[in-house]
A = this chain, B = another copy of it.
Amino acid sequence: MDSAYPKNSTTEAIAAIRSFLGERLSTATPVRESHGKDQTWNEGFPPDAVAFVKSTEEVQKIVQVCAKTQTPVIAYGTGTSLEGHFTAPHGGICVDLSNMNAVLEVNAEDLDCRVQAGVTRKQLNTYLRDQGLFFPIDPGADASLGGMAATRASGTNAVRYGTMKENVLGLTVVLANGEVIRTGTRARKSSAGYDLTRLMVGSEGTLGIITEVALKLHGIPESIAAGVCTFPTTEACCRTTIETIQTGIPVARIELVDAENIKALNAYSKLSLTVAPTLFVEFHGTEAWTREQAERFSEIAAGHGSGAFNWVTKEEDRLKLWQARHDSFWASKTMMKGKTDALSTDVCVPISRLAECVEETRRDLEEHGIYGPMIGHVGDGNFHVAMFCDLDDAEEVKRIKLAYDRLIDRALAMGGTCTGEHGIGAGKRRYLEKEHGVAALETMRAIKKAIDPLNILNPGKNAAP
Which of A's residues lie within 8 Å of B, judged by CB? 107-112, 151-154, 158, 162-163, 165-166, 175, 179-183, 185-196, 198-199, 201-203, 207, 218-219, 221-222, 242, 245-248, 250, 284-286, 288-289, 292, 296, 348-352, 380-382, 411-412, 415-424, 428, 431-432, 435-437, 439-444, 446-451, 462-463
Q: Which of B195, B248, B350, B416 contacts A285 (CB 8 A)?
A: B248
Contact B196 A443 (CB under 8 A): yes
Tell me how far the C-beta of A430 lies from the nearest C-beta in chain B, rounded to whole angstroms.
12
Contact A348 B198 (CB under 8 A): no
Q: Which of B201, B292, B412, B431 contacts A289 (CB 8 A)?
A: B292
Once A180-B439, A189-B158 are accepted as A-B contacts, the answer to whether A450 and B444 lie under 8 Å apart by CB is no
Contact B191 A432 (CB under 8 A): no
Measured between beta carbons, the chain B residues less than 8 angstroms from A185 are: 412, 415-417, 435
Given contacts A152-B190, A188-B382, A194-B444, 19 further A-B contacts (CB under 8 A): A109-B350, A162-B166, A181-B436, A185-B415, A187-B416, A189-B417, A190-B348, A190-B419, A191-B420, A191-B421, A192-B428, A192-B435, A193-B436, A193-B444, A195-B195, A195-B198, A198-B199, A199-B199, A219-B246
Cα A448 to Cα B439 with chains together (Å) = 16
Q: Which 9 pairs show the lowest CB-CB distances between chains A and B? A: A450-B450, A198-B198, A186-B415, A190-B417, A109-B352, A179-B439, A187-B348, A181-B440, A152-B191
Q: Which of A163, A352, A417, A449 has the largest number of chain B CB atoms within 10 A?
A: A417
Measured between beta carbons, the chain B residues less than 8 angstroms from A432 are: 192-193
Once A175-B439, A218-B248, A439-B179 are accepted as A-B contacts, the answer to whether A202 and B196 lie under 8 Å apart by CB is no
Measured between beta carbons, the chain B residues less than 8 angstroms from A446 are: 450-451
Tell me how far the C-beta of A186 lies from the nearest C-beta in chain B, rounded to whole angstroms.
4
Contact B112 A193 (CB under 8 A): no
Contact A201 B195 (CB under 8 A): yes
Measured between beta carbons, the chain B residues less than 8 angstroms from A163 are: 189, 191
Contact A182 B462 (CB under 8 A): no
Contact B189 A380 (CB under 8 A): yes
Once A107-B350, A194-B447, A285-B248 are accepted as A-B contacts, the answer to whether A189 and B203 lie under 8 Å apart by CB is no
Name 26 A/B residue pairs within 8 A (Cβ), A-sorted.
Answer: A109-B352, A112-B350, A154-B189, A154-B191, A163-B189, A166-B166, A175-B443, A181-B437, A181-B443, A187-B348, A187-B349, A189-B382, A190-B348, A190-B417, A191-B202, A191-B419, A193-B441, A195-B202, A196-B443, A199-B199, A221-B248, A248-B285, A285-B289, A286-B296, A288-B289, A446-B450
Q: Which of A154, A292, A432, A440 has the largest number of chain B CB atoms within 10 A?
A: A440
Cα A285 to Cα B440 with chains together (Å) = 39
Tell me how far the C-beta of A238 lies from the nearest C-beta in chain B, rounded to whole angstroms.
10
Tell me how far the C-beta of A109 lies from the nearest C-beta in chain B, rounded to whole angstroms.
4
Contact B189 A194 (CB under 8 A): no
Measured between beta carbons, the chain B residues less than 8 angstroms from A151 are: 191
Measured between beta carbons, the chain B residues less than 8 angstroms from A109 are: 242, 246, 350-352
Cα A447 to Cα B189 with chains together (Å) = 22
Contact B191 A199 (CB under 8 A): no
Tell me how far the C-beta of A358 lies from the nearest C-beta in chain B, rounded to whole angstroms.
14
Cα A89 to Cα B411 with chains together (Å) = 46
Beta-carbon nearest neighbor of A414 in chain B = B186
Contact A348 B188 (CB under 8 A): yes
Measured between beta carbons, the chain B residues less than 8 angstroms from A422 are: 191
Contact B431 A192 (CB under 8 A): yes
Contact B191 A424 (CB under 8 A): yes
Measured between beta carbons, the chain B residues less than 8 angstroms from A187 are: 348-350, 380-382, 411, 415-417, 420
Beta-carbon nearest neighbor of A296 in chain B = B286
Measured between beta carbons, the chain B residues less than 8 angstroms from A242 are: 109-110
Q: Which of B202, B296, B381, B451 contacts A193 (CB 8 A)?
A: B202
Measured between beta carbons, the chain B residues less than 8 angstroms from A418 are: 192
Tell me how far the C-beta of A386 lies from the nearest C-beta in chain B, rounded to whole angstroms.
18
Contact A351 B188 (CB under 8 A): yes
Tell me how far the C-beta of A198 lies from the nearest C-beta in chain B, rounded to whole angstroms.
3
Tell me how far the C-beta of A180 lies from the nearest C-beta in chain B, rounded to whole angstroms.
7
Cα A183 to Cα B382 with chains together (Å) = 19
Cα A375 to Cα B411 with chains together (Å) = 46
Contact A111 B246 (CB under 8 A): yes
